[in-house]
A and B are shown apart, each in its own frame.
Chain A
């Protein structure tokens, strides 16, 4: 079956760096998305990777290893507003998104 695994919850300190991991098993693969979702709000797009390697976008970076079925989202210089859930989603062979349950990130001062 198709499956996305990511940690349920992580805690980090303001100003620090945190890495949120995601492993996926899908029928075919056409890319990996990361979304941010604040409590009570809609998911918003952060990044998309389809080739191996690191994509950097400001304080956020996303990495993909297709051979390992693995991705991570790296958040630098953490701010209180980064407290949110981070959703990992893989695009399968039918171009349908398979979603992880999300990682709730708690930022402490």
Chain B
């Protein structure tokens, strides 16, 4: 593995189903982030984690949860998917504790469609 990987690449999901998007990085970055990207809108932060064991809410956290059990993994869970959660989801990481200005590096994204 080099960088950040996300799985699955794409998914079609029935409304009401539970779904976990996976994100793994091998750069030993302390900070990780989940964004959604919708047409005509900027990237919007869902949740973030400044270090393993801690998480925080971003701009649009409702309907999503995260965990950060270790440095490398940062899964995003949709407890009960709704059509408005149809989007492209990007995971990112940076070598920052939240007080730095280090660059965020992005995974390839997961395209999620909720019907």
User: How many angstroms between the C-alpha atoms of A44 and B101 in the bound complex?
Assistant: 16
Partner of A43, one of B40, B41, B43: B43
- Taking a contact as CB atoms under 8 Å apart, the answer to whether A91 and B42 are in contact is no
B103 beta carbon closer than 8 Å to chain A: yes
User: How many angstroms between the C-alpha atoms of A40 and B42 in the bound complex?
Assistant: 15
Hey, which chain A residues are within 8 Å of B109, CB to CB? Answer: 41-42
The bracket for how many chain B residues form the interface is 20 to 34
Tell me the smallest distance from the CB of A28 to a CB of chain B, in Å.
Answer: 12
Tell me the smallest distance from the CB of A8 to a CB of chain B, in Å.
Answer: 8
User: How many angstroms between the C-alpha atoms of A45 and B95 in the bound complex?
Assistant: 14
Minimum CB distance partner of A91 in chain B: B101
A99 beta carbon closer than 8 Å to chain B: yes
User: How many angstroms between the C-alpha atoms of A30 and B101 in the bound complex?
Assistant: 7
- Taking a contact as CB atoms under 8 Å apart, the answer to whether B42 and A99 are in contact is yes
- Taking a contact as CB atoms under 8 Å apart, the answer to whether B101 and A41 are in contact is no
- Taking a contact as CB atoms under 8 Å apart, the answer to whether B42 and A87 are in contact is yes
Tell me the smallest distance from the CB of B52 to a CB of chain A, in Å.
Answer: 18
- Taking a contact as CB atoms under 8 Å apart, the answer to whether A4 and B103 are in contact is no
Minimum CB distance partner of A88 in chain B: B42
- Taking a contact as CB atoms under 8 Å apart, the answer to whether B101 and A95 are in contact is yes
Minimum CB distance partner of B6 in chain A: A42
Hey, which chain A residues are within 8 Å of B75, CB to CB? Answer: none
Contacts of B22-66 to chain A: CB distance below 8 A = 40-45, 48, 58
Q: Given A44-B106, A95-B101, does the pair A101, B42 have CB atoms closer than 8 Å?
A: yes
Tell me the smallest distance from the CB of A31 to a CB of chain B, in Å.
Answer: 5
Q: Given A99-B44, A101-B40, A102-B42, does the pair A48, B101 have CB atoms closer than 8 Å?
A: yes
The interface of chain B, by Cβ under 8 A from chain A, is: 40-45, 48, 58, 90, 96, 98-101, 103-109
A-B contact pairs, 19 of them (CB 8 A): A4-B42, A31-B101, A41-B109, A42-B109, A43-B90, A44-B106, A50-B101, A87-B43, A89-B43, A95-B100, A95-B101, A96-B58, A97-B43, A97-B45, A97-B104, A98-B42, A99-B42, A99-B44, A102-B42
